[in-house]
Amino acid sequence: MASGNKLEELSTDLTITVSDDNTQKGSLSQHQQPPIVLDNNRPLSQEIAERRLKTYGENVISGQRPTQWYTILYHTIFHPFNFLLGGISIFAAATKDIRTVIVLLSMILLSVGIRFIQEYKGEAAAQALKKMVNSSSTVIRLYSPPDLRDPNFEDVEKMDRGETVEMDIQLKDIVPGDWVRISAGDLIPGDVQLISSKDLFVSQASLTGESIPVEKFTVLQQQLPIIPDEATTNDKLDKFELDRPDLCFMGTSVVSGTATAIVLKTGPNTYFGIMAKKLSNRRPTNAFQIGIRRISYLFLVIMFSIIPPVLLLQGFLKKEWKDGLLFAAAVAVGLTPEMLPMVVSANTARGAFALSKKKCIVKKLDSVISLGGVDVLCTDKTGKLDLVYYRIFS
């Protein structure tokens, strides 16, 4: 059994930095890097926990991170209709048609403003709703003086005896190696291995779709648990681990019983985090976005098909190439529905506002169109909902 001094020595001498691309960097190569051994007889101290929090990052999966305002603005600006109107405004500016440029830029600003404000409000409402949900867990750590004060004689005695304390902390502050206490109704805060358990049943419906709770219990281990190497385990889903009786996973919940477990993986390195990362890499294009893209391309094809003949006819017949260029620009502007982007944004924003009165948060305005196109909704309650009524109003 590894002693507490050995554990502290390993944690102090070894620093593993996990970069944004989930690769490890350090003074040792990947093959020479020793694993961090977890002591299932001695919890972490506050100092080691803070050090591992800096090393492994917060216990947050990619799908739970809030979308920043500049990301929303970026996706709002880069819209096919905005590109179309922007191209025409540049062409109009080249022909010194200032009034047309002002009208087109005003339409772009109004469309971007309406879409950005509505989507930003939806994101803010969703984040405020998440804050109302209790996201704490009970951890066991070695005793340390509270409030970061200097230890007195009594504190030193408790620290020498290796006394432990239970505390409730935010899920994002849990690190690999933490001991967690779980009971009925709790969410599993990470991928954990059981140290002790009593009549523990866990619902794994979010991972397997099976609504029947699974019994979990401790298994005699031949060796101490270790923190898995992120460089070799990232983006790999071992489905056989779900059947292990001594492992519980983030995203699952305790139905009944109690247990004490040691955290092996947190955040994006968990089974649930890898699934969320793969699902959130890129959203599939819906029918509305495909239609917007096609109609934008159609307008561009019509414009570029008509402008050259108009310019050539005006130039060869009347020998006025400058007036022919202005006339061709006027034809292009006349063929383009300048109000269409603003009308689309205003109507989708109106639909989002109507849904907000029904206590529904719309984070993406395009989803309003997708919801309106639903004829049949198929769903599975997976043991979480007792009674649900779905109504689709025309």
CA dihedral angle for residue 113, residue 116, residue 122, residue 128, rounded to 10 degrees? -100
Write out the two tokens for 226.
């270790």
Q: Which residues of the chain have pLDDT under 70?
A: 1-40, 62-65, 132-134, 147-148, 221-239, 280-283, 379-394
Residue positions counted in the chain:
394
- Per-residue model confidence (pLDDT) at position 181: 92
Kindly state the DSSP code that residue 37 receives in the 8-state scheme: B
Comparing CA positions, the residue from 31, 40, 39 lying closest to residue 11 is: 39
| C-beta neighbour count of 195 within 10 angstroms | 19
- Per-residue model confidence (pLDDT) at position 228: 63
| Amino acid at the residue 377 | L
Residue from 199, 243, 323, 380 carrying the catalytic annotation: 380
Decide: helix, strand or coil at residue 16.
coil
Q: Using an 8 Å Cβ cutoff, are 250 and 271 in contact?
A: yes
CATH number attached to the domain at 4-57+134-279: 2.70.150.10
Decide: helix, strand or coil at residue 219.
coil
Comparing CA positions, the residue from 88, 76, 82, 59 lying closest to residue 119 is: 76
pLDDT one-digit tens code per residue, 331-340: 777 777 777 7
- Is 380 a known active-site residue? yes
Q: Using an 8 Å Cβ cutoff, are 71 and 122 in contact?
A: no
Q: Is beta strand 24-25 parallel, antiparallel or unpaired with respect to 253-265?
A: unpaired
Beta bridge partners of 180: 139, 261
- Per-residue model confidence (pLDDT) at position 182: 92
Q: Using an 8 Å Cβ cutoff, are 37 and 48 in contact?
A: no
The domain spans of the chain are 4-57+134-279, 69-130+283-372
pLDDT one-digit tens code per residue, 90-112: 877 877 778 888 888 888 888 88
Beta bridge partners of 183: 258
